[in-house]
Chains A and B, each alone.
Chain A
Amino acid sequence: MAWLDMLVTASFWVAVLRIGTPLIFGTLGELICERAGVLNLGIEGIMVAGAFSGWLAVYLGAPLGAGILVAMAVGAALGLLHGILTVPLGLSQHVAGIGITLLATSLSYYFYRMVFPTVTEPPRIQPFQPLDLPGLFAQTPMTYLAFLLVALTAYVLYRTPLGLAVRMVGENPAAVEAQGIDVTRLRIGAVMVGSSLMALGGAFLTLSAFNAFYFNMINGRGWICIALVVFASWRPGKALLGAVLFAAFDAFQLRLQQLIGGAVPYQIFLMAPYVLSILALIVMSRRAGVPRALMIPYRKGER
């Protein structure tokens, strides 16, 4: 069977990891925010801003590594804004997050038009090249970085005092306060770190997967990451699994489109990974994993 053969080809798995990389970054970032008790719906816009700012820095002559740092800094700044709105001010995390998404997306497009008022074809840069490590599929350094970050996040969350404090502040901020740790600083810090990872996910698209910045290039990836965090029951390892699984659905439908051709409307194939993710969510997610204090603002001294 042709479609089964496809699953064992190296090129298929190369595509899976490439498609999965921005999802891994984004899901890890969202996971860190939510573990600290803050839902970050700004993810979609932060990914756009990361994609744009990283790419712009490289276009203006910065090295690729510096582009990554610029994207992360922009992500952290947007995270700081979201953190200030939701933690000390205690605003609705949904509303603040959607506001951040609209703001970051619009600002990115605005600055794009400011810098390139006349171009019709997006300007190109020289992106990261694949590194052919033996035994691994040829991927760009950012994909390897994504895998490294999964391990690092898991280590920090479960093996260090900082990770314990982050998990605890998402479960019961009063407990953190009672042990002499500042809830506000901890939560804002976690949101900033998480948001910089989201921006990294966006930057992967412009600095690694493609070589230019397009409108609508994030195309809902941020929202997928939010679902993947639930799928993963807020655990980094399962987040990696979920991102790769979704990417596999996506790569599979792309090839299936080519294989079957025009007999079936192509929108059906586009839809398939989302339908499968919803099914997977229903089967896999267990509410037990949800941080108890997620979306509940903490006010000092209030019970």
Chain B
Amino acid sequence: MRGDQVTDKNLCMALINQMKWDAACLTQRIVECDDEHLRQDYINVLNRTFAEQKQAYNYANQQGWHQPMLAEQSMINQVQSDTQKMANEIQQSMMTMHRQAQSQAIQTPQQQMMNMGQGMGMGTFQSYNMPAMGNQQNYGGIPQQYYR
């Protein structure tokens, strides 16, 4: 039997692939669209496309034509480990940002004015990036009314 023979299976897989391509094209149209009415119509067509693609997929799955390969345990472990690393990195960077915001919030208005003045010259980067080091003596002394 030749691979390119017209069978129900081939037709169904072509149907699914065409739906996937249509969904990708519609997504591109939506993100590039300025007009609200046109955008909404694209979205409606895309939602219908998703539903139809799923219907075709379910049919192929029932026929045993499309059975996705299950992930091996080692692969699952690897992804879990990588995800944990990413989560830790995000948490670390959030903590750094939080500390910076906190130390900026406890500055007195006078210090803030001074920092703004420094901002006019070469000191901008340093005064913004290292507030925790330069203002630690004020930690806890001033109410955090400037913190947002």
Q: Decide whether A and B assemble into one complex.
A: no
